[in-house]
Amino acid sequence: MKKIITILITSLFFTISANAGGMIGVKAGLGDLEGTRTSNTESSGSKTGSVDHEYAAIFAEANVSDMISLGFELVPLKGQISTKDDTATDSKVTVKNLKTVYVLASRETSFGSVYGKLGYASADITPQSNYGHTFSDASDALEGPMLGIGAQFSLPTPVINILRLEATHTMFDDVKVTSADADGVNSDTRTGEAELTTFSISLAKTF
């Protein structure tokens, strides 16, 4: 999937070079990541937890037509999700380099334009554990489809001339990790899934 994303990013920049229309911008907002354990060697029960935090991103889009654009977004930040202090094992997951390629379709209205987005997101993940436990056979990426809706408005300023309000929802595929204690005798394999919901405001420059 990373090769597919690389190809799509390359195609975007070729499109920008060949087409004079597009935009670049920055966005900031709040993201809520919810994870659910779907299976566990020791227990069949599921468990859900969530974490929310502010985030920022940069993005670029190239116009394919008057209503369709191809875009790429990058969250150049790193975050950590940790277990609670009272758990038997102290573990955490580092998430970084969240990238999304997408197609955006817009429609003009009397007050601006409304749009929908359909894309695919990918982020690098690294699990870590203390207390003598080790992780093996662990997934190294979160990947999944993204859906979004938003509204776009023109600003009467020469440099920043676009304002956007947007909400997105990303449904990541299942991930897996196998943990073992210090002597390697007891092991446990867990699988889980995650969903990311964001609400953001963007400022952009058309070209």
CATH architecture of residue range(s) 2-206 = Beta Barrel (2.40)
- Give domain limits for the chain: 2-206
- This prediction has a pTM of 0.80
- In angstroms, the CA 152 to CA 33 distance is 25
Q: Give the three-state DSSP class for 134.
A: strand
Q: How far apart are the first and last CA of the chain?
A: 30
Q: What pLDDT sits at residue 21?
A: 81
Q: What are the tens digits of pLDDT across the range 136-168?
A: 666 778 899 999 999 999 999 888 999 999 999
Residues 64-97 have pLDDT tens digits of 888 999 999 999 877 766 655 555 555 677 788 8
Per residue in 13-33, pLDDT tens?
555 555 558 899 999 999 888
- Number of Cβ within a 10 Å radius of residue 164: 20
Q: How far apart are CA 107 and CA 180, in angstroms?
A: 53
